[in-house]
Structure 1
């Protein structure tokens, strides 16, 4: 009898030199037929940088703060993930076909793999960047629970892979820098995760202005409350708990980890600037800082990795 092939933990597949989750790499060719609309809005981030958070904020803005409308489907249905593909789940393009305009779209793709139609149509982009140290800690735990990734290996080896750009979506350093450069010639609102944590209301006002929406102050306050980490962590429409266990195993690590219970070796309070300190050793931190200085030399971007 023929054995059923295990679809979990496939090796990364390289496309134009960029390592990607195998299934996502397979989705890129069909994505070439995607046609952007001028009234589309694109959310772009490197993974684990606040994508779901800003997606929920924008859906709430588009729905005028109506909570019931925002419960109509999980966030990955309300905000189609362009390059998404996984066994037994509709692809991002499948979801997109049933999405009425104006559409909010999401991607983690670097510019080399981004569908050109999004740039040609001058689609507005909300980009969220997060400091590299907190990203790599969060990404390690995400690799552990999301089985579309290869096995993460040890924390030490994963940290080296991240620094070398040998994780899915490639180099964080290149990603944040090239989208920053694009913001000088394309309509990009470049936000920082740390700023959103510090003052979400201020950043939501920036988003409102950028997308050309205005809402009463009480609705903005409702958005701040509804999109708090505590609310989103327990909301099945935002916490990815509807994804099959063989794709995302929440028993290994919650998709949204803040406040989740972990063995003592794992940080109890992720989602905050500076969480990396509970994971990095002194030697790892010094090594990372030296490498970071080289890779970010000459870049005007400045990140906060402290609370």
Structure 2
């Protein structure tokens, strides 16, 4: 049995001012948020109790993990990976929700303090949203630990907060996306989940995002952790924008990484299944629709941020990217002009 490892990083509470900014954007959290590691990844305080357990989680050789920052094409990639790994078993995919086939590691830590009982009562149909119902009955990481092999695991945690044996043991798919598009999609996710309780405007949400004061931020550090290991034999790194540009080609690349081979016709059929028009209609994938028409799976576009950033926010975003990317060779395909011009 492997020795139990102590955390190699510190967990500290955010300042009172930072906590106020975070909670302005998030509803239902009563305890101070925390920052983890040198990068200061923001997490709810409940993460403190399970961080060491997650870090020591036993990784299996036949695991497949999908790691992303939130709203970076996670659901899209999960459905792709699961079908590629399961001989394109569309019938099972139609019967079993994606969050059961491909559960999220840290779901339980993300549930607001006051929401546990509401979820148990299925208030506003919350128990059916992305596996929250099961996550309040048993810790999500415990459920995954007990699951039979092969396991398909989703997480938004960066590599540094995950088991150190992960990359040397299992296959990992990391998807990155333009931070500006991520922020817009992240905003609408929260708007969908808490509905009428979500009162803030986008510019307030952006302010928290660019100050790295939302869960799982800082986004560039998160992505760079995977980027610098992109040549590892067990890591498949892909940009959301490349999936948008040529999905069949990216399916082929991913299947090669997974050791799967399909005909051109099968690839085209899979690409059709994964089209956003198709996924929006798929209740086993897009299982929640808000009253105001905001869906868990939104537009599936690259560059939609331009519709939400006024000139002031656009300038702030440019400055944010210049600062965060300085000294890195991380090259987002949609913001290479910013890099080449200013860095």
Give the TM-score, by structure 1 length.
Answer: 0.82
Q: Which runs of 5+ in 1 are unaligned?
A: 1-6, 242-248, 259-270
Distance in 1 (CA, whole Å) between partners of 2:268 and 2:165 is 35
5 Å-filtered alignment, 1:181-192, equals 181-185=228-232, 187-192=234-239
Distance in 2 (CA, whole Å) between partners of 1:237 and 1:95 is 20
Distance in 2 (CA, whole Å) between partners of 1:220 and 1:63 is 14
Secondary structure, counterpart of 1:182 in structure 2: coil
The answer for the alignment partner of 2:207 in structure 1 is: 160
Instruction: Pick from 274, 278, 295 the counterpart of residue 254 of structure 1.
Output: 295
Checking the alignment, whether the CA contact within 8 Å between 1:65 and 1:222 is kept in structure 2 is: no
Instruction: Pick from 279, 294, 297 the counterpart of residue 323 of structure 2.
Output: 294
- Alpha-carbon RMSD across the aligned residues, in angstroms, is 2.5
Distance in 1 (CA, whole Å) between partners of 2:162 and 2:84 is 25
Checking the alignment, whether the CA contact within 8 Å between 1:201 and 1:224 is kept in structure 2 is: yes
| Cα drift, residue 216 of structure 1 | 2.2
Secondary structure, counterpart of 2:174 in structure 1: strand
Secondary structure, counterpart of 1:167 in structure 2: coil
Distance in 2 (CA, whole Å) between partners of 1:82 and 1:36 is 12
Q: Which runs of 5+ in 2 are unaligned?
A: 1-25, 121-132, 336-343
Distance in 1 (CA, whole Å) between partners of 2:45 and 2:265 is 44
What CA deviation, in whole Å up to 9, does each residue of 1:45-103 have, x standing for no partner?
00000000000001111221121021231111101211111434223335425643222
What CA deviation, in whole Å up to 9, does each residue of 1:165-203 have, x standing for no partner?
101101111111111112244621110101101110000
What CA deviation, in whole Å up to 9, does each residue of 1:203-230 have, x standing for no partner?
0001001011112222211211111111
Checking the alignment, whether the CA contact within 8 Å between 1:152 and 1:158 is kept in structure 2 is: no
5 Å-filtered alignment, 1:128-277, equals 128-147=175-194, 153-185=200-232, 187-241=234-288, 250-252=290-292, 253-258=294-299, 271-277=300-306
Distance in 1 (CA, whole Å) between partners of 2:148 and 2:267 is 24
1:280 and 2:299 matched: no
Secondary structure, counterpart of 1:126 in structure 2: strand
The answer for the alignment partner of 2:134 in structure 1 is: 90
Instruction: Pick from 53, 73, 76 the counterpart of residue 53 of structure 1.
Output: 76
Distance in 2 (CA, whole Å) between partners of 1:131 and 1:257 is 16
| Cα drift, residue 18 of structure 1 | 2.4
The answer for the alignment partner of 2:166 in structure 1 is: 118
Secondary structure, counterpart of 2:169 in structure 1: coil
Distance in 2 (CA, whole Å) between partners of 1:161 and 1:152 is 15
| Cα drift, residue 275 of structure 1 | 0.6
Checking the alignment, whether the CA contact within 8 Å between 2:72 and 2:182 is kept in structure 1 is: yes
Distance in 2 (CA, whole Å) between partners of 1:143 and 1:257 is 13
Instruction: Pick from 11, 14, 32 the counterpart of residue 34 of structure 2.
Output: 14
What CA deviation, in whole Å up to 9, does each residue of 1:113-154 have, x standing for no partner?
2133424x4322111001111111101111222349x95732
The answer for the alignment partner of 1:4 in structure 2 is: none
Give the TM-score, by structure 2 length.
Answer: 0.74
